[in-house]
Structure 1
Amino acid sequence: MRLVESRATLAVSYVVLGIGAFTALFPIALLVLNALKSAPEILLNPLALPQTIRWDNFARAWKDARFSQTFVNSAVLTALTIFLVCTTGSASAYVLARKKIKRWKIVTFYLLATTTAPIQLFLFPLYFGFAKLGLINNVFAVSLVYTAIYSPFAIMLLHTYFQAVPREIEEAALVDGATHWQVFVRVMLPMVSPGILTVALIIGLYSWNEFLIATTFLQRQDKLTAVVSFFLLSGQYSSDWGEIMAAALIVVLPIVVLFVALQRRFIEGMAGGSVKG
């Protein structure tokens, strides 16, 4: 009886996982399929195989979207944001985990509120403030906005990792003559590195795909990000859907490759954070 139940449970699990995999992979497969077709073929039947593979879609997409420049802009913006969020978030999380805070529930509520608050509430004040300071089209200034948006999530996740590290390890390092800064950099950060990697991957994904802030504060042609330049490929009255599909594939490919390469560490980091919390 138990064997039958276990097999039934296993079968149901496989069915659910199969449905989930199909739901996740079907849009990507459809994107790859249509990136190799001409626009008339896509309009005729987007699910059909291409009659002639159109590799030139990728060359035209790369040139028309100016990805050689916009990819660099996105990479710089993403790298700056990851660096700022990981450095400030890890330091803040360490202090919050090690100091006894009587109003920790208020701090938690504040972090949750800032995480869920829509950016549209602050967009106009930020824009006028940045314009007054001459910070429009400044990549570093935009990375500061991203840091303010994503830091609460990073702090809450890393807080659970720092809490899980026994205090005896820090005390032993201090007894051996290490300073508090050395304990943080040389002892604590290596121990919570899975959490930092998880934060870096998630923040990198958000920063690379972010559109609203990037299109608002980076308006010069030489400052556009890859996502914004992809959006501009679509015309008002007509669009080359084959080129657009190829451009979309080019934009998502770096993130997909990075996630696939680091998926094990990412899953371990997320699972570790949930268990340690």
Structure 2
Amino acid sequence: MIKSVVSKEYQDLQKKIVQLQEQWKQQLNPEIIRPNLDKAAMEAGVPAAALTAIDFEISLFQQWIEEISAILINSNPELEPKLSGIESLLNEEIAIRWIEEAFAFNHVYFASFAACHGLEGWIPQFLAETALRPYLQLTAEKVQHEIHHSNPGAGCPVCGEPVRLATLKEEGKKVIHCPRCLAHWHAKRLECSHCGNEDHKTIQFLTIEGDAVSQIQVCGTCHGYIKIIDTRQYISQPSAALLDLNSIHLDFVAQENGYHVIGEKKETN
């Protein structure tokens, strides 16, 4: 297994964040998640989370933002002046807006918010997305029994995250994982998750020297890619979020070769 290009310090930070998100999820009453799954809508590519009523606890969301800010500052004290004003900015109205825009992947809104308030561009969306994920993960747990596949190009059938990560399980079965909401579903070994192409002549696999457990499936039709990790060789199974992070070198290789994750560049005004 090749050594991750991600620093140990950042890996440790992400482990803390994943653990914190699990703790946050445990604080939520499952009854606040009320799926109303419309099979026709889901077949058309509408994410299950968009068909679910979620009672967000705004004060809890604000508290989580404070907690994640504290972890970031503890990890890197230089961030303190950059994060110190967040609490005063995040009133109830702004918190609700953050939830809505994080839910919708609205990168433009967060970039504009950062610019208006003198924040580094990554900060607002990172905080909002981190605090939103426990709700998405609880939603995924509630609807997982209904998630059997995804529509090519539609992204995760629960939260809409672009598809980019799969593992090989028993007998080499391919399972796609969403690092955002942690939903998972089976997929054909020789199928592009982005366009549905099943032509073995236009689907190829890139391998990395020194990395025996990873490969990149690339599609010559839509130029999409997906990372595939053979976790059967792992002693312990990492979370999808950490697996996605630690395999980021595969993203670099795919993108350097002209492939991309379909949907990841979409933006809304």
TM range (shorter): under 0.3
Scaled by the length of structure 2, the TM-score of the pair is 0.28
Task: Name the one with the larger helix percent.
Answer: 1
Bigger fraction of residues in strand: 2
TM-score norm. by structure 1 comes to: 0.27
